[in-house]
Amino acid sequence: MSLKTRAILVLVVGTAMGLSLSFGGRLLSGEQRSVQVPTSPDQARLLAEVIQRVKSDYVEPIDDSVLMENALRGMLSELDPHSQYLDADEYRDIRISTTGSYTGIGIEVSEVDGKVRVITPIAGSPAARSGIRAGDQIIAVDGNVVEAKRLQDTISGMRGRRGSKITITVLRDDEAIDYEMRRELIRVASVHHENLQPNYGYIRLSQFTDSTAQELSRAVDDLQKTQGGMLNGLVLDLRNNPGGVLDAAIDISDLFLDTGVIVSAEGRTAESRFVRAAHRGDVLDGAAMVILVNKGSASAAEIVAGALQDHNRATVVGTPTFGKGLVQTVVPLSMGRAIKLTTSRYFTPSGDSIHEIGITPDVLVDDTDGFPDLSLSSGIDRERDAQLIEAIGRLQGRQVMHSSAQ
């Protein structure tokens, strides 16, 4: 073994031992937890050999810090498409995005079968206004080819200075399409609501943020106020909703349920195993509900649809959902960094896992091209949106007797 390789080997083993000691005292979810880092000579030697070869032979000089960060990113990204290492800027962005405000184009993406796919453009965003659709494959950002294994780089590349131009190239039906737009400060109100006459309401949730449950409760109050009393029915539109904060999905489900399990989860740690149940009180007082879903409905949106479907609280109309049944926990690290780690698999009240399966609607109705209109430029269209037409018809065909009128 050369002197240089031996020095790297000592460094690697020392680093691993140091990590084992420092992680042992790390604060994770309020508890100290010991983490054992494997430090067998063979593993350390292999890592040292790779580092030495990259540093000596790679076509361009590589800084040690870059090598280490790439190693961390690779470690997390190879676990599943949703786990990732977050540097300080990325961690800041993810904290901001849960509040519903960040600078970018307003698009949710994921790695699907080795491709970067659009889960959904966020309603009202530059991506939505440009015409990007759920299911599109992103193949380039500003002419740079994207790689599914470098998903976070793609996400970072779509963010940037407010007002700056960006070109997204997508592949749709074997045709490459360029969409040019400008980045904006995305302040997306996660709740949009309208009246459906007579005595029916429509609420669309575009994502799940810390404030979504409160916004939805206010929307129901506003609809009831403008209608002059309790609603006879509500359409809850979760189409192209990529999900978001888990607690928001639980709180929203709780708004419409009096009792029963909302969601349960199983993982390896005590914090990742939980059951969340509803509390008494239904903001609609038992009025009929229809939930609209499609392939762009994912994660937290599927929790809500699954809970209300399993408890026979709502009829689910549309097409099968995306199928993301995993829970990610964001764990802060030193120096403003973090990891987003898949820690649980969640289950609907019936005990089913929907991961890579999705929620199957009670009533299958294919999407109408162009709906829902995510540009929010002209409100809902009750004449051409086949899924919405079905939802309204089912509401109007069911009589409701509110408890206050009994």
What digits encode the pLDDT tens for the residues 263-284? 999 999 999 999 999 999 999 9
Question: What percent of the chain is modeled with pLDDT above 90?
Answer: 59
| Structure token digits, residue 55 | 């540093």
Instruction: Tell me: pLDDT of 101 over 60.
Output: yes
Q: If pLDDT is split at 50, 70 and 90, which confidence band does 138 have? A: very high
pLDDT value of residue 406 = 37
What digits encode the pLDDT tens for the residues 344-353? 999 999 999 9
Query: Of residues 179 and 209, which shows the higher confidence score?
Result: 179
Ranked by mean pLDDT, the top range of 12-26, 45-59, 116-130, 307-321 is 307-321
Instruction: Tell me: pLDDT of 31 over 50.
Output: no
Q: If pLDDT is split at 50, 70 and 90, which confidence band does 42 have? A: confident
Ranked by mean pLDDT, the top range of 17-26, 99-108, 153-162 is 153-162
pLDDT value of residue 400 = 47
Judge contact between 343 and 327, C-beta under 8 A. yes
The question of whether 299 is a catalytic residue gets the answer yes
Q: Picking from 27-41, 54-68, 195-209, 356-370, which range would have the lowest pLDDT averaged per residue?
A: 27-41
Instruction: Tell me: pLDDT of 141 over 80.
Output: yes
Judge contact between 292 and 301, C-beta under 8 A. no
Q: If pLDDT is split at 50, 70 and 90, which confidence band does 68 have? A: confident
Q: Which long-range contacts (CB under 8 A, 24 or more apart) does 39-48 make?
A: 39/13, 41/13, 44/9, 44/12, 44/13, 44/16, 45/9, 47/12, 48/5, 48/8, 48/9, 48/11, 48/12
Residue-averaged pLDDT of the chain: 85
State how far the alpha carbon of 399 is from the alpha carbons of 131, 286, 334, 394, 396, in Å: 39, 11, 57, 10, 7
Q: Class of 188-401 per CATH? A: alpha beta
Burial class (CB in 10 A: 0-12, 13-18, 19+), 221: exposed
Q: If pLDDT is split at 50, 70 and 90, which confidence band does 30 have? A: very low
Q: State mean pLDDT over 386-404.
A: 76
The question of whether 222 is a catalytic residue gets the answer no
Tell me if domain 101-186 and domain 188-401 are identical in fold: no
pLDDT value of residue 16 = 45
Catalytic residue among 83, 206, 299, 344: 299
Instruction: Tell me: pLDDT of 149 over 60.
Output: yes
Instruction: Tell me: pLDDT of 14 over 90.
Output: no
Q: If pLDDT is split at 50, 70 and 90, which confidence band does 65 have? A: confident
State how far the alpha carbon of 88 is from the alpha carbons of 8, 23, 59, 175, in Å: 27, 19, 28, 37
What digits encode the pLDDT tens for the residues 287-341? 999 999 999 999 999 999 999 999 999 999 999 999 999 999 999 999 999 999 9
Question: What percent of the chain is modeled with pLDDT above 70?
Answer: 85
Q: Where are the domains of the chain?
A: 3-62, 101-186, 188-401
Q: If pLDDT is split at 50, 70 and 90, which confidence band does 375 have? A: low
The question of whether 324 is a catalytic residue gets the answer yes
What SS3 string covers the chain? CCHHHHHHHHHHHHHHHHHHHHHHCCEECCEECCCCCCCCHHHHHHHHHHHHHHHHHCCCCCCHHHHHHHHHHHHHHCCCCCCEEECHHHHHHHHHHCCCEEEECCEEEEEECCEEEEEEECCCCHHHHHCCCCCCEEEEECCEECCHHHHHHHHHHHCCCCCCEEEEEEEECCEEEEEEEECEEEECCCEEEEEECCCEEEEEECCECCCHHHHHHHHHHHHHHHHCCCCCEEEEECCCCCCECHHHHHHHHHHHCCCCEEEEEEECCCCCCEEEECCCCCCCCCCEEEEEECCCCCCHHHHHHHHHHHCCCCEEEECCCCCCCEEEEEEECHHHCEEEEEEEEEECCCCCCCCCCCCCCCEECCCCCCCCCCCCCCCCCCCCCHHHHHHHHHHHCCCCCCHHHC
Catalytic residue among 310, 340, 344, 367: 310
Q: Rounded CA gap, 286 and 296, in Å? A: 28
Q: Picking from 21-35, 109-123, 182-196, which range would have the lowest pLDDT averaged per residue?
A: 21-35
Catalytic residue among 324, 340, 344, 367: 324
Ranked by mean pLDDT, the top range of 42-51, 101-110, 231-240 is 231-240
What digits encode the pLDDT tens for the residues 312-321? 999 999 999 9
Q: If pLDDT is split at 50, 70 and 90, which confidence band does 22 have? A: very low
Other beta carbons less than 10 A from residue 140's beta carbon: 18
Give the bridge partners for 406, in sequence order: none
Q: Rounded CA gap, 103 and 191, in Å? A: 19
Spatial neighbors of 173 by CB under 8 A, at least 6 apart, are none
Q: Rounded CA gap, 189 and 207, in Å? A: 9
What digits encode the pLDDT tens for the residues 230-260? 999 999 999 989 999 999 999 999 999 999 9
State how far the alpha carbon of 71 is from the alpha carbons of 50, 89, 260, in Å: 11, 18, 44
Q: State mean pLDDT over 115-135.
A: 89
Q: Picking from 158-162, 270-274, 386-390, which range would have the lowest pLDDT averaged per residue?
A: 158-162
Instruction: Tell me: pLDDT of 23 over 80.
Output: no
For domain 101-186, the CATH architecture is Roll (2.30)
Q: State mean pLDDT over 87-98.
A: 80
Instruction: Tell me: pLDDT of 11 over 60.
Output: no
Q: If pLDDT is split at 50, 70 and 90, which confidence band does 57 have? A: very high
